[in-house]
Structure 1
Amino acid sequence: MISADDLRFFLEVARTGKLVAAARGLGVDHTTVGRRISHLERATASRLFVRSTGGWTLTEAGQRLAIHAEAVESSLLAAAEELGSEPGRLSGTVRIATPDGFGAFVLSPGLGGLRRKHPDLAIEIVTATRLNLLATKEFDVGISLAEPTIRGVSATALAAYPLGLYAAPQYLETNATIAAVDDLQDHSVIGYVDSLLDIPDLRFLDTALPGVRPAIQTNNITGQWMATVAGLGVAVLPLFIGESDRRLVRILADTVHLRRKYWLAVPRELQRLARTKAVQNALFDLAASHPYLEPIR
């Protein structure tokens, strides 16, 4: 007989890939987790994980079981949410994992409508600019710069966003005129730290300024924005940052045109939750109303 509680242990190991990490998340010791997995394997008469020093990975049987385990988890979560909240009122916490630019410049200032509609709903925003931001599935709703291909996560295109070249007036006044892209070879360019950049769509400079090596590199868009405002050089910035800051001037607007896309990701077991749906709807509304985002639905 398969135990729903054993399935909870199974899913935690499947998501973390590590026995110790799963034990930490469950608040038990690793021997308990191992014992629960062994019990489940006996109950299913199947080997569910391949154990190795690098971690635990699902076997084919484990992948099939994971689909049903997530369905059970989804039903239990939905039941707990429905019975634990007042009719018509949403409560609990929704964690949103997002790239730092979207989180700081779009999401955080755009939460007003959601907060007014659901004042009892707590929102956690976790930001990073790495492809593995969503890999551990430690989120309820995720925003990604590339289409997620993580098992058990459903993805939908959220919005496209245009980018342009920006500089501070004081930088432009004290440096050579920029009349064409080739002129930037002699200018200080600001970009991402190439060795830390694991998202191909963020390689803006390779597209807009081929052959130009950044003089200043940071691992997030906020650092690039602040360096540009300080007059340290020229940067590729989303229009939702550059056009909203009067301290910056867009340059080569007729020449440099870039467009990238945000994706909305939700673990399948959380899709039925009313609070998760509310956040998704709020994000689509935000994309539709924002002056520098292009909704995709």
Structure 2
Amino acid sequence: MARSRASAPAGRPLADVDWGDLRLFLEVARTGSFSAAARELGIEQSTVSRRMAAFERTLRAAVFDRRPGGSVLTPLGEQLRRHVEAMEAGADQLVRDASGHEREVEGLVRLALTESIAVHGVIPRVLPVLAERHPRVSLHLLTSYEAADLGHRDAEIALRFFRPRSGDLVAARIVTLPTVPVAHRKLSKKGRDELDWIGVDLGRIPAVEEDYQRRHVKKAPRLVVGSYIAQLEAVRAGLGAAVLPRSALALDDDLVELDLGLPAGPVLELWLVTPRSLRQVPRIAAVWSALEEQLQFLNEPRRARARPRSR
């Protein structure tokens, strides 16, 4: 007798398991928790939980033992991890084999970065050099504060303000950015308590400068904006002070570093990242080299012309 649909096991057919779910499973397995995987990939923890729950329903078995301190793989999960890592290694080898056929420096490179790095660094400094050296290379700039998923090939290269801890990636720290209180020089004689401050709210993306401002300035911002570009423009307009990378002083002669007796600001690190399997591909190597070389100016900003003492 034919088996009725009602008596079929719950869950979708195994053919519905996709590579994206397998890669997400591997990220959770490597980081040890749904929240850590979400931070690494720049997505919501609820998205990770929902997709992994659906993934287990498809498998009709649990692969994670959920505990207060994180997620531990079940025996089946450990077995699945070995299989998925083998699949990942095979896919990377395929990319390396395919990349070996590229001989010319040409083609599209997708670069994930923040809007401020794009506007103040990559567009004016890197793109002209690339156009002159490698006219057959084209770039797609993916500007977002979210971390692009290089593992899923959302982009080939990323500029990130953190060092990735998982995935088969090559990373190089290319810029170190000390942060300092900055304002228009017309505000340079105001004391800490007299200054208006300009904050930035990036939604669920944490801003270390804002944490510093809350702990040490202890004054609510007069103006809050939604991007670093807008924050800098508000400072340039003389609307208040903000904790910015010292390299911002190079963008406008009217910007000065304020000496307000505050502790040293946080130090930001800019990392250049690409999948290991792509690092030596000619077009990737060309863009990597231009970024590494041309963004060095951020490490050597001009000195402020005036560093007034607070009253």
Does the pair score TM above 0.5?
yes
Trace 1:107-122 onto structure 2 (pairs within 5 A).
107-111=122-126, 112-122=128-138
Gaps of 5+ in 1: 1-8, 18-36, 42-46, 51-57
CA deviations 1:241-284 (Å, max 9, x no partner) are 23221242332288664332112222234334232222222222
The answer to whether structure 1 residue 92 and structure 2 residue 92 are counterparts is no
Give the letter aligned to residue 244 of structure 1.
L
Does the 8 A contact of 2:198 with 2:221 survive in 1?
yes
Does the 8 A contact of 1:162 with 1:292 survive in 2?
no
Aligned residue among 129, 132, 139 for 1:123: 139
Does the 8 A contact of 1:165 with 1:235 survive in 2?
yes
Give the letter aligned to residue 127 of structure 1.
T
State the distance in 1 between where 2:115 and 2:239 align: 21
The answer to whether structure 1 residue 261 and structure 2 residue 255 are counterparts is no
The answer to whether structure 1 residue 252 and structure 2 residue 259 are counterparts is yes
Cα distance 1:267–1:135, how it changes in 2: closer, same or farther (>3 A)?
Answer: closer
Does the 8 A contact of 2:109 with 2:156 survive in 1?
yes
Equivalence for 1:278? 286
CA deviations 1:6-26 (Å, max 9, x no partner) are xxx854433467xxxxxxxxx
After superposition, the CA RMSD in angstroms is 3.7
Trace 1:24-103 onto structure 2 (pairs within 5 A).
59-83=77-101, 85=102, 87=103, 89-103=104-118
Structure 1 length-normalised TM: 0.66
Secondary structure in structure 2 of the residue aligned to 1:77: helix
After TM superposition, the structure 1 stretch with the greater mean CA deviation from structure 2, 220-229 or 282-291, is 282-291
Equivalence for 1:44? none
Give the letter aligned to residue 243 of structure 1.
A
Give, in angstroms, the shift of residue 96 of structure 1. 1.1
Give the letter aligned to residue 93 of structure 1.
L
Give, in angstroms, the shift of residue 63 of structure 1. 3.4
State the distance in 2 between where 1:187 and 1:49 align: 55
Secondary structure in structure 2 of the residue aligned to 1:264: strand
Cα distance 1:165–1:210, how it changes in 2: closer, same or farther (>3 A)?
Answer: closer
Does the 8 A contact of 2:209 with 2:243 survive in 1?
no
Secondary structure in structure 2 of the residue aligned to 1:281: helix
Equivalence for 2:199? 191
Equivalence for 2:309? none
Q: How many residues align?
A: 243
State the distance in 1 between where 2:62 and 2:168 align: 16
State the distance in 1 between where 2:278 and 2:131 align: 20
Does the 8 A contact of 1:167 with 1:249 survive in 2?
yes
CA deviations 1:5-63 (Å, max 9, x no partner) are xxxx854433467xxxxxxxxxxxxxxxxxxx9xxx9xxxxx8977xxxxxxx943443
Give, in angstroms, the shift of residue 107 of structure 1. 1.6
Secondary structure in structure 2 of the residue aligned to 1:246: coil
Cα distance 1:246–1:263, how it changes in 2: closer, same or farther (>3 A)?
Answer: same
Cα distance 1:49–1:90, how it changes in 2: closer, same or farther (>3 A)?
Answer: farther
Trace 1:143-222 onto structure 2 (pairs within 5 A).
143-170=159-186, 172=187, 177-178=189-190, 183-193=191-201, 196-200=204-208, 203-206=211-214, 209-222=216-229
Equivalence for 2:236? 229
Gaps of 5+ in 2: 1-16, 26-54, 65-72, 302-311
Sequence identity percentage = 20
Give, in angstroms, the shift of residue 204 of structure 1. 4.0
Cα distance 1:63–1:200, how it changes in 2: closer, same or farther (>3 A)?
Answer: farther
Higher Rg of the two aligned structures: 2
Give the letter aligned to residue 95 of structure 1.
R
Cα distance 1:14–1:247, how it changes in 2: closer, same or farther (>3 A)?
Answer: farther
Does the 8 A contact of 1:94 with 1:121 survive in 2?
yes
State the distance in 1 between where 2:19 and 2:62 align: 11
Trace 1:14-29 onto structure 2 (pairs within 5 A).
14-15=22-23
State the distance in 2 between where 1:117 and 1:66 align: 40
